[in-house]
Amino acid sequence: MSGNVKTAVEAALFVATKPLSLEELSRVLRFPEEEIYAALERIAAELEREGRPYRLVKQSGGYLLELREEYAELVRPFAPGGDIPEPVLRTLALIAYRGPITQAEVVRIRGQRAYSHIRELIDRGFVRAEKKGPTKVLEVTEKFLEYFGLSSPRDFRT
């Protein structure tokens, strides 16, 4: 196996925001699947042996680099959304996943505290609210997409 395969696979995993399948890695990087698989095994072994703060995991039919739990809280402020309190982040996730969604529906699902979450998300520029009758219709903004490295709300749903 060429050293270039391992380096290319590791680089792809580093930038990926979703699990990458063997087929996808092979097609994009233009190496045979057997070499990609061997590279994945080497990467996993090296990460484990070296005690790196992240590991290679298989998830949803693909591979990705995942931060080990013992480091998650330590570096949370640096992660996208790390400065957003978890309840507010959950409300944002609901709006991103189900949006456009009415404020009434968000409150029905998330409870009365969702009103303050929505205000915070609007203030941060992550959510836009448009008045529709007695309620508002909520959806994520371009700022949300940029902040979380997405090109469209559909990226969040997959």
The string of pLDDT tens digits covering residues 122-157 is: 999 999 999 999 999 999 999 888 887 777 766 655
Find the domain containing 37 and state its range. 3-73
pLDDT digits (tens, 9 = 90+) for 62-117: 998 988 888 877 887 777 666 788 899 899 999 998 989 999 999 999 999 999 99
Instruction: Please report the pLDDT score of residue 157 as a whole number.
Output: 53
pLDDT digits (tens, 9 = 90+) for 16-37: 878 899 999 999 999 999 999 9
Assess whether 36 and 10 both reside in one domain.
yes
Question: Max CA-CA distance within the chain?
Answer: 63
Q: Are 20 and 13 in contact (CB under 8 A)?
A: yes
Look at the alpha carbons of 14, 15, 19, 20 in this order and tell me if their dihedral is positive or negative: negative
Distance CA 29, CA 103 (A): 44
Assess whether 65 and 88 both reside in one domain.
no
Choose the final residue of a domain: 39, 55, 73: 73
Instruction: Please report the pLDDT score of residue 1 as a whole number.
Output: 47
pLDDT digits (tens, 9 = 90+) for 47-65: 999 989 999 999 888 998 9
Assess whether 90 and 153 both reside in one domain.
yes
Question: Which is more confidently placed, 1 or 6?
Answer: 6
Assess whether 59 and 101 both reside in one domain.
no
Instruction: Please report the pLDDT score of residue 16 as a whole number.
Output: 83
Distance CA 156, CA 141 (A): 13
Choose the final residue of a domain: 34, 54, 73: 73
